[in-house]
Amino acid sequence: MIMTGAGADQARREADVALRDGTTVHVRPARHEDAPELQRLFEGLSGESRYLRFFSGAVDVPLVVHWAADVDYQQRDGLVALTGADGRIVAHVGWERERDRPERAEIALVIDDGFQGRGLGTIMLGQLAESARVQGVELFIAEVLPGNHRMLRVFRDSGFSVRTRSLPGVIMAEMPTELTPDALRRFEDREERASAAAMRRVLAPRSVAVIGASRRRGTVGGELFHNLLAAGFAGPVYPVNPKARSTSRSSPSRRRRWSRLPARARPRASVPWWCCRPVSPRAGPRASNASGTSWRSAGRPACGWSGRTASG
C-alpha cells in the first residue's frame, strides 16, 4: 500500500517515552510488517486479558492481527509500543472510522500483561487522539465490559471528557479527541513523574560494572572504582579489566558468572577479558582520597540504568 498525505511522514510520530516506573519504550505508528510481533502479543495475553479485550476467550488471532497491521493512517490508524533491542511489541492501540459517521472512530487497546499498570495505555491513548484529531476524527468510542475497571480508569485518568452509558452487557464510552487544558495538565504531570522515575534508575543503580577498573590510583579506572566504594554505594560493584588478576584485596564470598553481567561487559571470544568478583562497598575505604576527589568528580559518575555499566 502506498502511503500518501498523513501516511507519508509517519516518522514524526515516533517517540521514546518514559513510563510510570521509569521504564522506557518506543512508540511509533503500526506497520504492515508488524504482523508477526502483533501475533505474538495477542497470543501471549493471559486468559483474563484476552477475555476483557475480545469479550471471549476464543480469539480469531489472524483476523485481529490483520486489523491491527493493515493501516492506511486515514481510515484506520494505530500505534505500537516496542521494548528491548529486538523491538518486541508490548502494546497496540488503534482506531477505525465509522462508515456513516467518519468524524467518529472506534478504538481498541491491548497491552502485554507485564506492562499493564505502568501508564502506557494512557500515553498511547493521548498520542493517538492527537493524530486522530488532525485527521478529522472528533470522537473516540469504545465498548467495554462492565468488569473491565482498569480500561475505564485509563479513559478517565487520561483527562479526556469521558461520557459513559450502559448498554446490554457492555458500557459504551465516548471521549472527544480534543486535548482539554485538564488533559494537557495531566499529561505534563505524568511526564514529570515518569522522567523523575527514569532518572532514579540512572542515578540510583542496583549494581555497577566499572570497565577498566584498576588498582592504580590516579588513573580514571582506579579513581572511579575507589570512589564508588568510598562513597558508600550500597550495591555490588563489578570491576572489569582485561589485564588484571585482581583489583582489590577484598574477598567477597561469591563470584558472578559472565551471563549475570551486562551485555557490554561480556568478553568477546578473541579477547581474554577477566572479571573479578563483585566487591562489597563496605570492604573498601570509607573516605575520599587525599585530593578530596569524590565519585561525583572522578571521571564519569556511576551511571546507567539499573545493572548497566559505567565506562571507566
Nearest to 102 by CA among 68, 127, 128, 76: 76
pTM: 0.61
Kindly report the average pLDDT of the chain as a whole number: 74
Question: What gap in Å lies between CA 166 and CA 17, rounded to an integer?
Answer: 34
Query: pLDDT tier at 145 (50, 70, 90 boundaries)?
Result: very high
Query: pLDDT tier at 281 (50, 70, 90 boundaries)?
Result: very low
Mean pLDDT of 141-158: 86
Q: How far is CA 163 from CA 54, 98, 152, in A?
A: 22, 18, 11
User: For residues 286 and 154, which has the higher predicted lDDT (pLDDT)?
Assistant: 154
Task: Quote the pLDDT of residue 199.
Answer: 63
User: For residues 253 and 163, which has the higher predicted lDDT (pLDDT)?
Assistant: 163
Q: Are 221 and 300 in contact (CB under 8 A)?
A: no
Residue 274 identity (one-letter amino acid): W
Q: Are 114 and 107 in contact (CB under 8 A)?
A: no
Task: Quote the pLDDT of residue 216.
Answer: 83
Task: Quote the pLDDT of residue 35.
Answer: 97
Q: Are 256 and 235 in contact (CB under 8 A)?
A: no
Kindly tell me if the per-residue pLDDT of 226 is higher than 80: yes
Q: Write out pLDDT tens, residues 81-125.
A: 999 989 999 999 999 999 999 999 999 999 999 999 888 988 898
Nearest to 78 by CA among 135, 11, 9, 132: 132
Question: What gap in Å lies between CA 261 and CA 238, rounded to an integer?
Answer: 8
Task: Quote the pLDDT of residue 73.
Answer: 92
The CATH code belonging to domain 5-202 is 3.40.630.30
Query: pLDDT tier at 275 (50, 70, 90 boundaries)?
Result: very low
Sequence spans of domains, the chain: 5-202, 204-312
